[in-house]
């Protein structure tokens, strides 16, 4: 097994570790969840760079890398849903669509369409990254780091003005509408794949 595939497997292993730490009642564990997720995200950047530099492009890697990415991001959205279940004020209290539905839409879209793309790649088709897909991925990752970063800082600075500010943001309607926007982008990128899918099109 080459290094990029090993790093992809590491991301899959780190996903449940991150989720366990995030949902812990321990401030230290919550902060560690941010570090674990950051480490996992860095392995994604590094294995792609390494594979391109040294030509490690395998069929197994083409399947494993995007799957590992989606498992990692899905673990974050599962965590956000469970945090909302534990504290209904998380994401505010004026939901247009329940947080659980939004998280489910994102997770199902990402895993199902990524699996579909992987099957097509195993059959020899090549895909390029569409602009809507790039925007969706950037928005998802930015949002995830915004949430877990805010939780990490809040856990470090208990009983401070910074803690109060961060908790206020996490409990605000602004946070909910950002999640709603992420969901809309995710659905839009999925629709673009379904209705415009052809060789050289990515999801």
DSSP state of 158: T
Block means of pLDDT (10 residues each) for the chain, 203 residues, are: 78 95 94 95 74 63 79 95 94 90 94 76 63 84 96 94 96 95 91 62 44
- Give the Cα separation of 111 and 165 in Å (integer): 34
pLDDT of residue 202: 44
DSSP state of 124: T
Domain spanning 3-196, CATH architecture? Up-down Bundle (1.20)
- Give the Cα separation of 83 and 119 in Å (integer): 34
Residue spans of the domains in the chain: they are: 3-196
What is the pTM for the complete model shown? 0.86
- Give the Cα separation of 77 and 70 in Å (integer): 10
pLDDT of residue 1: 60
pLDDT of residue 201: 43
- Give the Cα separation of 84 and 63 in Å (integer): 32
pLDDT of residue 154: 95
Q: How many other CB atoms are there within 10 angstroms of residue 183's CB atom?
A: 21
């Amino acid at each position: 097994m080459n290094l990029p595939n090993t790093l992809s497997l590491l991301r899959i292993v780190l996903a449940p570790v991150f989720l366990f730490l995030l949902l812990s009642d321990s401030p230290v564990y919550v902060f560690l969840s941010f570090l674990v997720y950051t480490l996992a995200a860095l392995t994604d950047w590094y294995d792609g760079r390494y594979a391109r530099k040294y030509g490690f492009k395998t069929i197994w890697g083409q399947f494993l890398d995007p799957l590992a990415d989606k498992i990692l991001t899905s673990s974050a959205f599962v965590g956000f849903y469970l945090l909302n279940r534990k504290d209904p004020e998380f994401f505010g209290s004026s939901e247009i669509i329940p947080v659980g539905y939004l998280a489910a839409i994102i997770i199902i879209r990402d895993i199902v369409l990524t699996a579909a793309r992987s099957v097509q790649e195993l059959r020899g088709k090549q895909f390029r990254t569409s602009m809507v897909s790039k925007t969706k991925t950037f928005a998802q990752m930015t949002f995830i780091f915004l949430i877990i970063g805010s939780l990490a800082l809040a856990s470090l600075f208990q009983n401070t003005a910074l803690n109060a500010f961060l908790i206020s943001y996490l409990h605000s309607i602004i946070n909910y509408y950002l999640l709603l926007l992420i969901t809309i982008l995710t659905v839009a990128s999925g629709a673009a794949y379904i209705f415009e899918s052809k060789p050289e099109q990515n999801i």
